[in-house]
Amino acid sequence: MQREEKQRESMLDALQTRLNDLKVAIGAMIHKIETEYETINWPTFLDNFALISSHASLTGLTKILSHEMGTPLRNLTVLPLMLSPERDEALMQLTEGRIAVFSHDMVPDYLRTKPEPTAEQRMLQHEQKANSLIAETAIKQVAQYTKIVSHVFDSVSKAREEWEVESSTRSGIQQTSSMTDTHTLVSAIGMGKGLKGIMPPVGGPAGMIPPSIRPQASMSSVSPSGTSQIGKAPSAIKTNIKSANQIHPYGR
- Amino acid 158 reads K
210 has a pLDDT exceeding 90? no
Is the confidence at residue 102, as pLDDT, over 70? yes
pLDDT at residue 103, rounded to an integer: 87
pLDDT band at residue 158 using 50, 70 and 90 as cut-offs: very high
Q: Where are the domains of the chain?
A: 1-76, 77-113, 119-148
Instruction: Calculate the alpha carbon distances from 177 to 28, 134, 166, 184, 233 in Å.
Output: 56, 65, 20, 13, 29
pLDDT, residue 57, reads 64
Tell me: pLDDT of 223 over 60.
no
The CA dihedral of 79, 84, 89, 95, to the nearest 10 degrees, is 40
Residues in the chain: 252
DSSP conformation letters of 136-191: HHHHHHHHHHHHHHHHHHHHHHHHHHHHHHHHHH--SSPP---HHHHHHHHHHHHH
Q: State the pTM of this model.
A: 0.40
CATH architecture of 1-76: Up-down Bundle (1.20)
How confident is the model over 209-213, as a mean pLDDT?
A: 49
Q: Tell me, what's the pLDDT at 177?
A: 79
Cβ contacts of 187 within 8 Å, gap of 6 or more: 193, 194
How much is the pLDDT for 228? 45
Q: What is the pLDDT of residue 230?
A: 47
Percent with pLDDT over 90 in the chain:
8
Average pLDDT estimate for 10-37: 83
